[in-house]
């Protein structure tokens, strides 16, 4: 049983191409887990073991790896940087205690690093910063530190300074101990010597050390007073203060180096041991009821507590389904029976494994603080809580964004449908932002996801991993409908045909609701004109009609229905009669309430070099974009805008063409807003035509 204070559950997160996977590789090499470092460039890295990852050179799934450094156990999760996979980052952060934020020395704080940083702030994860790729052209450590302050509003606490830049980058100076670490040309991480600070850097190191010590000692008033009076604190005291400040997110210890060239990674590992929290130092996870409201209890990290664990990722591979779990409290042994609080079913634990990238070690027990995988669990999905059957509980429920884009797919050959059904079932369990529906009229399978790349990769996985060839339709935008005017109306449903009839009369107002409210229902009926027991039936009737609007059959959003009055019959009125009345009322009144098509608007964040700004803005305007903000950086300009999703298809291609391949962008869903008339007419006509063909 390892002491919990020697555990570090950390994640590595950053923008695409900042070097997360390469950094993870180096950590594994240094900790002796792998003996030959694989390169992303050659498609051989350990954590990117999916074919699609090796090919594109990007990380799609978070991979979990365990290793040891200075008698401390690290559970490292390498997360993807690409915007379409932010959900992977989000759920990884949920189960981590600390993180390493990697930034590129020349690219600096890029759009996606900002999103990931925001997620980490929300999850209150302590982080150290590693500024990577200092051997690159245009790398500038001090500039990136400035960007972190300005763009992320974070306080980088500089712990190491680079010796030389770009091609001359040879090592780093540890500001705390005033020692220089210089690596030789062999490129091996262990070949370095510790020397004195180069003469031309002494003043700079002293300046930064003074800043660092002052900032650190703010965490302890007594030490600060003594320091002001000229008393030098010991290294242990400074480290203790840095640790405290890192854990309460006052600042972020910042290191520099080049993971690819193996320089400066050791210092980051030491920092993880020294400054990032162990499982017991993090605020414990709150327990909630089924609806997600806190009940005031917490999952204390301790072996003596009842078992509480969170399934945060499901992965299907050649060995069967793996469910990754983080154990918050209690312990888990092979053969135990556990309860899934979401489904209310119990399961027996068969095999448990510890992951070392794509290799695994069988284990017989695990305890609070561990991150492990369980083989062959049924009916467990991402975000489910696993707990002791005698002490049922729910850890915080995870909320996932709604997909905004869809494509239709049909298998090329007849035999493919069954294969496709099984494969898609597995993929939906793995990725909660990926949805599948069947179109009732045409029988087509519709895949929904977060963006073009997201769906593109899903189709690719279906083809390669499961051998299903698909015909893919054009991407479709998830349009919605709403209303613009308030209508007061009345509707009576009566049917008399021998025996008991049906009767329900309702007077109501239908009006536009608050943005993003979906559907709200309230009643102003006083007295017994419509008995209370029929309210749910009326609400159900209206709600069931929201799925299909009157313009082009898209779901309806943001409608408020207010029941004013009505009438009932002592014999003939029933719940079903009022439900039918509500459905008839919806059909009658919505066309009068000024129905309108609304479209998803995306928050688009574009980075472009200075000389192409005009082209990029002109292009965004042509795409009906609203420019919100421009921010000039050293290497280029960040343009933030709101653009309809319908106009963003294939944007990456045109951005690269405009900016000679240097532009980058990220986008995420923001809100729905009304479509201009010309666009709406076109969409409605196309939809009707498509439906007519079915």
pTM of full prediction above 0.85? no
- Tens-place pLDDT, residues 675-688: 888 888 888 888 88
Going by the DSSP 8-state scheme, the letter that residue 602 receives in this structure is E
- What does the pLDDT average to over 401-407? 76
pLDDT at 641: 92
Structure tokens at 278: 């162990």
- Tens-place pLDDT, residues 484-537: 899 898 888 888 766 677 888 888 899 888 877 788 888 887 777 788 888 888
Look at 419 and 58; give whichever has higher pLDDT: 419
pLDDT higher than threshold 60 for residue 83: no
pLDDT higher than threshold 80 for residue 219: yes
Q: Is residue 70 exposed (0-12), middle (13-18) or buried (19+ Cβ within 10 Å)?
A: exposed
Structure tokens at 142: 């001090």
Helix pair angle (221-228, 202-217), 10° resolution = 140
- What does the pLDDT average to over 297-320? 76
Structure tokens at 7: 């555990």
Instruction: Tell me which residue of 472, 499, 488, 290 sits closest to 396, measured CA to CA.
Output: 290
- Tens-place pLDDT, residues 617-666: 999 999 999 999 888 766 678 889 999 988 888 787 788 788 877 777 77
Phi and psi, residue 360, nearest 5°: -140, 150
Q: Which residue has the tokens 């209150």?
A: 124
For the CA atoms of 421, 458, 600, 585, the dihedral, rounded to the nearest 10 degrees, stands at 0
pLDDT at 642: 92
CB-CB neighbours of 569 under 10 Å: 15
Would you say the C-alpha torsion 626, 84, 311, 382 has a positive or negative sign?
positive
pLDDT higher than threshold 50 for residue 157: yes
Comparing 47-61, 72-86, 451-465, the range with the smallest average pLDDT is 47-61
pLDDT at 195: 84
Q: What percent of the chain has pLDDT over 90?
A: 2
Q: What is the mean pLDDT of the chain?
A: 79
pLDDT at 358: 52
The three-state secondary structure class of 655 is: helix
pLDDT higher than threshold 70 for residue 243: yes
d(C-alpha 621, C-alpha 639), whole Å: 12
d(C-alpha 655, C-alpha 118), whole Å: 25
Q: Where are the beta strands (DSSP E) in 609-645?
A: 626-632, 637-644
How far apart, in Å, do the first and last CA atoms of the chain sit?
A: 63
Q: Which residue has the tokens 């490129």?
A: 187
Whether the Cβ atoms of residue 387 and residue 339 lie closer than 8 Å to each other: yes
Look at 624 and 183; give whichever has higher pLDDT: 624
Q: Which residue has the tokens 């923008």?
A: 15
252-256/156-158 β-pairing = parallel
Structure tokens at 206: 């002293």
Structure tokens at 378: 């049924």
């Amino acid at each position: 049983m390892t002491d919990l204070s020697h555990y570090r559950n950390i994640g590595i997160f950053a923008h695409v191409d900042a070097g997360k996977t390469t950094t993870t590789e180096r950590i594994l090499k240094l900790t002796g887990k792998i003996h030959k470092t694989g390169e992303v460039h050659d498609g051989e890295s350990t954590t990117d073991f999916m074919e699609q990852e090796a090919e594109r050179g990007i990380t799609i799934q978070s991979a979990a790896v365990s290793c040891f450094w200075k008698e401390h156990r690290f559970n490292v999760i390498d997360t993807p940087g690409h915007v379409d996979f932010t959900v992977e980052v989000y759920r990884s952060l949920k189960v981590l205690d600390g993180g390493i934020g990697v930034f590129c020395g020349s690219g600096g704080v890029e759009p996606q690093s900002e999103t990931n940083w925001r997620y980490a702030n929300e999850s209150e994860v302590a982080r150290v910063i590693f500024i990577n790729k200092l051997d690159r052209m245009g790398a500038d450590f001090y500039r990136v530190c400035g960007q972190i302050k300005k763009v992320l509003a974070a306080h980088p606490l500089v712990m190491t300074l680079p010796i030389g830049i770009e091609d001359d980058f040879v090592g780093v100076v540890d500001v705390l101990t005033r020692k220089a670490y210089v690596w030789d040309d062999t490129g091996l991480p262990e070949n370095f010597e510790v020397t004195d600070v180069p003469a031309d850097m002494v003043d700079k190191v002293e300046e930064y050390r003074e800043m660092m010590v002052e900032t650190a000692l703010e965490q302890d008033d007594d030490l600060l007073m003594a320091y002001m009076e000229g008393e030098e604190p010991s290294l242990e005291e400074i480290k203790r203060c840095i640790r405290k400040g890192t854990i309460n997110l006052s600042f972020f210890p910042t290191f520099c180096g080049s993971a690819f060239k193996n320089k400066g990674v050791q210092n980051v590992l030491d920092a993880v041991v020294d400054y990032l929290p162990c499982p017991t130092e993090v605020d414990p996870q709150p327990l909630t009821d089924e609806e997600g409201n806190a009940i005031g209890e917490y999952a204390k990290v301790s072996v003596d507590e009842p078992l509480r664990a969170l399934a945060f990722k499901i992965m299907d591979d050649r060995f069967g389904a793996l469910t990754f779990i983080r154990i918050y409290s209690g312990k888990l042994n092979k053969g135990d029976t556990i309860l899934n609080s979401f489904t209310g079913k119990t399961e027996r634990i068969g095999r448990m494994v510890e992951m070392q990238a794509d290799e695994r070690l069988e284990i017989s027990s695990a305890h609070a603080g561990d991150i492990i995988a369980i083989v062959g669990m049924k009916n467990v999905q991402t975000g489910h809580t696993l707990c002791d059957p005698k002490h049922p509980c729910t850890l915080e429920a995870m909320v996932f964004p709604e997909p905004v884009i869809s494509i239709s797919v049909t298998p090329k050959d007849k035999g493919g449908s069954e294969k496709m059904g099984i494969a898609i079932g597995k993929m939906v369990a793995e990725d909660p932002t990926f949805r599948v529906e069947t179109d009732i009229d045409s029988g087509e399978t519709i895949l929904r996801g977060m963006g073009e790349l997201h769906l593109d990769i899903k189709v690719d996985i279906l083809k390669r991993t499961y051998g299903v060839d698909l015909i893919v339709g054009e991407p479709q935008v998830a349009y919605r409908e709403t209303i613009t005017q308030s209508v007061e109306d009345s509707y009576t449903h009566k049917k008399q045909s021998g025996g008991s009839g049906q009767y329900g009369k309702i007077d109501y107002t239908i009006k536009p609701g608050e943005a993003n409210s979906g559907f709200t229902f309230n009643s102003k009926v006083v007295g017994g004109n419509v008995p209370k027991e029929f309210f749910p039936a009326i609400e159900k009737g209206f709600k069931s009609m929201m799925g299909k609007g009157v313009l082009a059959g898209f779901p309806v959003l943001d409608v408020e229905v207010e029941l004013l009055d009505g009438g009932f019959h002592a014999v003939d009125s029933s719940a079903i009669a009022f439900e039918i009345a509500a459905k008839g009322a919806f059909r009658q009144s919505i066309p009068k309430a000024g129905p309108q098509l609304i479209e998803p608007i995306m928050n688009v964040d574009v980075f472009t070099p200075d000389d192409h700004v005009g082209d990029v803005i002109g292009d965004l305007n042509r795409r009906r974009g609203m420019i919100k903000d421009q921010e000039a950086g050293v290497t280029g300009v960040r343009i933030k805008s709101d653009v309809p999703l319908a106009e963003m298809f294939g944007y990456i291609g045109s951005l690269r063409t405009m900016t000679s391949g240097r532009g980058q962008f990220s986008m995420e869903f923001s809100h729905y807003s009304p479509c201009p008339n010309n666009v709406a007419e076109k969409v409605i006509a196309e939809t009707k035509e498509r439906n007519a063909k079915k």
